[in-house]
Structure 1
Amino acid sequence: MAPNREICAFFYEDKGQGDYRCQLRGTSRKQQVGSGYSNLLSHLTSTHPDFEETYRASWVVERNMPISEVDDPLTRSMASWKPVSSKTLKLDMQTCAPNVGGVIKKELGEIFGVMYDGWTHGTVHYVGIYGVTFVNGKHRERLTVAVAFGGR
């Protein structure tokens, strides 16, 4: 679950000088400055026992993800990860690209081809780019890119 500070920032409006307003009920709460968030969290647990589900659901809804995403075990596990800085993420991405490239190179083998395909449905035009290769004597096609143009 998120840190208490983030949960309280989500559910309460800080009115200053230790005064907070619950955004779910509109009631005022007092919290001693520097004493943590115990009073605010106590209000949430006693008055809004489903506050954790509300908080998780907002994460999904604000990103326009399918509602079923909250039930997904992978999403739940990622929501409990420690925060990652953008610098660390960029470094990991730079390390990941050559590794993925090596796997692709191994899978494609020595001889491979690229095949383009396009089709139209109504006013929408689709383009697909496939990688074609033989692996262990078997023909393989992998859709690498699919793009739609036009339409409404």
Structure 2
Amino acid sequence: MVLTSSQICSMLFREVGNGFYKCTTCDKQYKKGNGYTNLLIHLRCNHDNYEQEAEEASRRQNPLRLHLVSKRTRDLYGWIEWVVCDRLPFAFVERRLTRLNTTLSLVSEDTLSKYIGLIFELLELRVARELPAAFGLVINGWTSSNRHYVVVFAVFDSDSTGITGGGVGTDYFDDLECSSRRFLLLAFSPLEVEEDLGVQSQYDLIADTLSRYNKPWSAVKLLVGDNCSVNQYIGRKEGAIPFI
């Protein structure tokens, strides 16, 4: 396990107050300042084996070698969960009353936005990795407060869902409750031009979604849609995509 700078310093220094930290090896004291630069400079100049010492200290504190999540990471997750699940603006984390009444460590709007973006990128990579070479698309639309959204799901059968009980025996039912069927949310987006609810805008959204996951139209083997004009347009444009 590779230790971060903060983990190394937490293992090899002890806080003594007023922003000063004492090296647990030589007892010299240094002011931490912004970040861990001062502490790391001391380690690099005076303790050649400081990384090994930090790893040994880590093993002593965590003999089972469990993956420990820092309080800062847990707090960031708490902020993200709060804002996303309650559909709050990012600026919520900087409101005075919010900070006054929470036990989570403080976070800025920019930091929250940064980590939500990183999570989004990781999820995109995971979805792209899990998509098979061939799949179906399920398309649906929804209008709320004069804003139109389109949702795009990928649907495919998978033998690796980890759910037991499915199969091809007499108890197998080919419906939405099939334990081998998976749905992956690919997009839930407002149309780029909200005034244009035509077939071209919806077609462009589907095409952009496929390109984001590096999938060609030829990977789409069926499409479930609820808009007749969109279905016909895509069918004519792309050729022989079966519709349901």
- Which of the five TM-score ranges fits, normalised by the shorter chain? 0.3 to 0.5
Give the TM-score normalised by the residue count of structure 1.
Answer: 0.39
Give the TM-score normalised by the residue count of structure 2.
Answer: 0.26
Bigger share in strand: 1
